[in-house]
Amino acid sequence: MIDSYLSTEDQQERLLVGVRGDWIFDNVLALEEATASVIPRADQTVTFQCDGLDDIDIAGAWVLYDRTEQLSELGIKSELTGFKAAHFKFLQHIIDAAAIREFETLPEKPERPKILREAVENLGDASSAHIEDLGQIARSILDGMRRPSLIMIGETIKQVYLTGVQAIPVVVVITFLIGIVTAHQAAGQLEKFGASVLVVDLVSISITREMGVLLAAIMVAGRSGSAFAAALGVMKLNEEVDAMRVLGLNPNQMLIVPRILGLMIALPVLTIFADIAGIAGGALIAVGSMGISGLQFIERVAYSTDLTDFYVGLSKAPVFALLIATVGTLRGMQVQSSAEELGLKTTTAVVQSIFMIIVADALFATLFTRLGI
């Protein structure tokens, strides 16, 4: 039998295999096939004659070595003759140094009680770590308040700009559109009762109490919560956080506190913008397509919505800001080693902060109803 890599010749109790051509990486697949055909034809001894080799590299040598191993498992002796290239010696050296391992089978899944126990333990570990982190951040905030440093104040102002001022356009547009949507939806229903003018009440109350602050907070969670987590995560990966600690700086104070304070200033201001834009959206529909005059609209807003409604909405903003900033920065600081982890933590930061905003909002709604505000 002859092909481009091998020629075989039967002798008494011996199979002569002429090895030739290019035994290199690119041809491994073909070499595997060619050498596989030798095995069923082998007698007691196989001799690989390698004089005819044009070129051989480690991958090619590996195929040859692998076959000789297989043959010896079948109780067939194999010989190699005429080797000139250093590769095989090299390969042999490696094989001698350490045996190629069999690929390990995956560890079996732990039994159920063990999974449960591990889950509980993980939960406990995670919560205690979180509580510790939160405590440290709280202490840093208090320390920072007592002895504010210039760097911290500067950084806080920068964060107000980044998370607040830069977010104004998108928050204004979003709440304006939501104001329009709310007015349209309400108009359809209220017109049936001839109470079109109540659209104004509905828009202004829902925007000031709920929608304005909620939309602003969700936008900020998406914009800044992710930015916090990503920025701090990269700093952790670059060992910047470690460098700060080595220099005697408290990363909590330098990185986390300004972000929390900055956002707690920025979000209430954004809420005011959101409220105004939302009501403006409602006004556009009321005046433009429902025949309510501008003056009537303003009168109706003043009559239905008092400052309490506005304060109720506004009072939630710092709490939401605290949640977004804490979750974002904490997740960022949890990044330990890899870029993949960074992405994961950033996603978690956004999802968790939005989740917590909505939970907190539900609690607020219940609280204010109970209090009769």
Partner 1 sequence: MMNNAPEIIISVKNLVNRFGDQIVHNRLSLDIRRDEILGVVGGSGTGKSVLMRSILGLQKPASGEITVLGQKIEYHKPGPSRCWGVLFQGGALLSGLTVQENVELPIALYSDMPLETRHELASLKLLMTGLSLSVADKYPSELSGGMRKRVSLARALALEPKILFLDEPTAGLDPIAATEFDELITYLHDNLDLTIMMITHDVDSLFGICDRIAVLVDGGVEVGTIDEILDSDHPWIKSYFGVPRAQRARAAIGGDHHA
SS3 state at 305:
coil
Kindly tell me which of 58 and 197 has the beta carbon lying closer to partner 1: 58
Kindly tell me which of 101 and 112 has the beta carbon lying closer to partner 1: 101
Q: How far is Cα 350 from Cα 29, in angstroms, rounded to an integer?
A: 48
Q: Quick check: 35 and 6 in contact, CB under 8 A?
A: yes
Q: How far is Cα 201 from Cα 286, in angstroms, rounded to an integer?
A: 11
Q: Provide the minimum distance between the beta carbon of 66 and partner 1 in the complex, in angstroms, as a whole number.
A: 7
Q: How far is Cα 96 from Cα 103, in angstroms, rounded to an integer?
A: 19
* Nearby residues of 36 by Cβ (< 8 Å), 6 or more positions away: 67
Q: Provide the minimum distance between the beta carbon of 132 and partner 1 in the complex, in angstroms, as a whole number.
A: 23
Residues pairing with 6 in the sheet: 19
Kindly tell me which of 246 and 295 has the beta carbon lying closer to partner 1: 246
Kindly tell me which of 99 and 307 has the beta carbon lying closer to partner 1: 99
Q: Provide the minimum distance between the beta carbon of 139 and partner 1 in the complex, in angstroms, as a whole number.
A: 30
Q: Provide the minimum distance between the beta carbon of 83 and partner 1 in the complex, in angstroms, as a whole number.
A: 13
For residue 162, give the H/E element and its range.
Answer: none
- Beta strand 77-81 pairing with 14-23: unpaired
Q: Provide the minimum distance between the beta carbon of 227 and partner 1 in the complex, in angstroms, as a whole number.
A: 22
Could you write out the DSSP letters of every residue in 60-87? HHHHHHHHHHHHHHTT-EEEEE---STH
Kindly tell me which of 12 and 337 has the beta carbon lying closer to partner 1: 337
Q: Which residues bind partner 1 (CB under 8 A)?
A: 24-26, 28-29, 32, 57-59, 62-63, 66, 86-87, 90-91, 94, 97-98, 100-101, 103-104, 336-340
Q: Provide the minimum distance between the beta carbon of 226 and partner 1 in the complex, in angstroms, as a whole number.
A: 20
Kindly tell me which of 65 and 297 has the beta carbon lying closer to partner 1: 65
